[in-house]
Amino acid sequence: MPTIKTEYLGDLRTQATHLQSGTQLLTDAPTDNQGKGEAFSPTDLVAGALGSCMMTIMGIVARRDAIDLKGSEMEITKVMSAEAPRRIARVEIRMSMLSDRLLTEAEQTKLERAAYTCPVALSLHPDIAQDVTFSWKIGQEA
């Protein structure tokens, strides 16, 4: 059974529908590749999927260990290769982790290691560098 149905809308734009929920998203080619850059590009979605997947797996581990990571954020930078063929060369993720209490170094390490086991991280080609940094804060400090 399909998970996503995608329609080409023309002018380098697609609309994907998540069939279970009906949620839709648009993609547009980036301005450096003949597009208008008016929506996520497909490669933006790959970079975003990596970050969201990492945070989700950390959330699963945190929930199991009674740690609240609500309010944590990340900034993601996708770097395209300068050489042909056009591809993602590196994804930089800066995670600003917010917890409800002071975490031990072991707890932080456990959560960070969990991030690297997310399905997207494990599915990306090894030539795509995954440059991830974590900063940890408590409560409203972020």
Q: What is the pLDDT of residues 94-111, one digit of tens each?
A: 999 999 999 999 999 999
Alpha helices, DSSP H, located in 1-142: 42-64, 105-115, 119-123
pLDDT band at 90 (very low <50, low <70, confident <90, very high): very high
Q: What is the spatial distance between Cα 107 and Cα 44, in angstroms, rounded to a whole number?
A: 30
Are 71 and 110 in the same domain? Answer: yes
Are 50 and 119 in the same domain? Answer: yes
Estimate the crossing angle of helix 105-115 against helix 42-64, to 10 degrees. 140
Which range of residues forms the domain containing residue 69? Answer: 41-141
- Sequence-distant (6+) residues with CB within 8 A of 62 are 68, 69, 99, 111
Are 115 and 55 in the same domain? Answer: yes
pLDDT band at 120 (very low <50, low <70, confident <90, very high): very high
By the 8 A CB rule, do 139 and 100 touch?
A: yes
- CATH number of the domain where residue 118 is located: 3.30.300.20
Query: Is the per-residue pLDDT at 93 higher than 90?
Result: yes
Are 106 and 48 in the same domain? Answer: yes
Are 33 and 55 in the same domain? Answer: no
Q: What is the spatial distance between Cα 6 and Cα 44, in angstroms, rounded to a whole number?
A: 17
Single-letter amino acid, residue 99:
S
Are 92 and 134 in the same domain? Answer: yes
Are 14 and 55 in the same domain? Answer: no
Give pTM, 2 decimals: 0.93
Q: What is the mean pLDDT of residues 9-18?
A: 97
Are 60 and 101 in the same domain? Answer: yes
pLDDT band at 138 (very low <50, low <70, confident <90, very high): confident
Per-residue pLDDT tens over the stretch 14-70: 999 999 999 999 999 999 999 999 999 999 999 999 999 999 999 999 999 999 999
Look at residue 8 in the predicted model and tell me its pLDDT: 97
Are 13 and 53 in the same domain? Answer: no
Single-letter amino acid, residue 110:
K
Q: What is the spatial distance between Cα 87 and Cα 128, in angstroms, rounded to a whole number?
A: 9
Are 84 and 21 in the same domain? Answer: no
Look at residue 140 in the predicted model and tell me its pLDDT: 58
Are 109 and 133 in the same domain? Answer: yes
Distances, alpha carbon 3 to alpha carbons 18, 27, 85, in Å? 6, 17, 29
Domain count across the chain: 2
Are 23 and 58 in the same domain? Answer: no
